Amino acid sequence: MNSNQTWLSYAAGTNTRLDAQAVDAIRAELPALADEIVDAIQREVAEYSDTLRGDYGQGIRLGTEQALRRFIGEGDGESPAVYRGLGYGEHQAGRSLDGLQSAYRIGARVAWRRMSRAAAAAGASAEAQHHLAEAMFAYIDQLAAESVDGYAEAQLARAGDQERHRSTLLALLLGARAADEEQLALAATEAAWPLPRRLACLVVDGEPGPVARRVSGDTLHGEVEGTLCVVMPDPAGLPREAVAAARRLGVRIGVGPTVAVEEARRSLRWASLAVELGAPASAVCAEEHLADVALRAAPEVVRTLRARALSPLAGESERSRMRLEDTLRAWLRHRGSQRAVADELSVHAQTVRYRVRRLRELFGDALADPDRRFELEIVLREAPGA
């Protein structure tokens, strides 16, 4: 519609435009019409049965009369912000748009009934009244569309606020410095995420959002100090869900233990160690691999121990060293059974005998010392390919 036209002239057209007498008759009805519309909305729309009383109701009545005057070309030009504000307010009040849309329909029906009577009494033709109806309902549709836009704006704003609040809560739960109870409770309230009795952390080697959507519960997810993670509240069936998500999404997931809220950092730390143990599209539960998690928790100690325990192999070529490490690892695991070692390595038993003989030459009495054997098992467990 051209901004210089009124809604009446836009819908009526040049040949059937309402004359000044009919417009004056409609104008005279507007104050009473605004009251009638507000009363009908309050009576017929449950959401507004109490809210349209007092100052709020008076504001709505004035706004209704203003909209009606704009319809006949009086007052300021269109102000979409007003109607977007109505939609925005509905979302802020925790209501759907159903009530507001019903109110618009009721307003259009009441306005058309009263305006058409006034126009007919002023001598408007049937065709002009027909176009009056078209104009009225087109106008109401525009107002309703502006309110839908306002509602969508409120949804986006709330989603953005909630995302920020949840990021803050995630950082407080899992940050290096423990948050006090009051600070944590306030952050949880702002994030609309009730603090659970217990929780568990998942660490993901990719985007955590898809994983969060595939596990149960209202999760928190994001990045904490470079770690991509998901926090599951009061987890049940956690390993099963994590395995299913890892396989479906093709990512590695480390699953931390279920702990009290104040121990969330420990669950994250264990999950971070567990994820390093997994193959692609797999989930590793830290509590099911405690020995490996413990080794990864002290990498510097293990590296130092490895260098010392395997020093007898230092003079071997890289290829020979790798073969002897594989053989020693299998020999320790199978308690010296050369047949089991040959089966595991897919080599001839004679080859195993030769390699074991070489290992005895290099390590000497260390292979008979329980403490040295234990050290060798630790470092060989962490060896490449183990």
Residues of the chain with CATH 1.10.10.2840: 299-381
- The 10s digit of each residue's pLDDT in 58-79 is 656 666 777 777 777 766 555 6
Long-range contact list for 300-309, CB < 8 A, 24+ apart? 302/378, 302/379, 302/382, 305/375, 305/378, 305/379, 306/379, 306/382, 306/383, 309/372, 309/375, 309/376, 309/378, 309/379
What would the mean pLDDT of 233-254 be, rounded to a whole number?
A: 89
pLDDT above 70 for 377? yes
Where is average pLDDT lowest: 5-9, 63-67, 370-374?
5-9
- The 10s digit of each residue's pLDDT in 144-194 is 888 888 878 777 767 667 788 888 999 999 987 878 888 899 999 988 899
- 72 or 233, higher pLDDT: 233
Classified by CATH at the fold level, domain 299-381 comes out as: Arc Repressor Mutant, subunit A (1.10.10)
**CA torsion through residues 235, 237, 239, 241, sign:** negative
- The 10s digit of each residue's pLDDT in 190-218 is 888 999 999 999 999 988 999 998 988 88
- The 10s digit of each residue's pLDDT in 304-356 is 888 999 999 999 999 999 999 999 999 999 988 989 999 999 999 999 999 99
What would the mean pLDDT of 276-298 be, rounded to a whole number?
A: 90
- 136 or 362, higher pLDDT: 362
- CATH tag for 7-157 (out of 1.10.10, 1.10.490, 1.25.10, 2.60.120): 1.10.490
The whole-angstrom separation of Cα 139 and Cα 6 is 11
Structure confidence at residue 19 as a pLDDT band (50, 70, 90): low
Residues of the chain with CATH 1.10.490: 7-157
Token pair of 168 as six digits: 């803050």
- The 10s digit of each residue's pLDDT in 324-336 is 999 999 999 998 8
Kindly give the residue spans of alpha helices, DSSP state H, lying in the chain.
7-12, 20-44, 54-71, 80-92, 98-121, 126-174, 181-190, 208-214, 238-249, 264-275, 290-297, 299-309, 318-333, 338-345, 349-363, 370-381
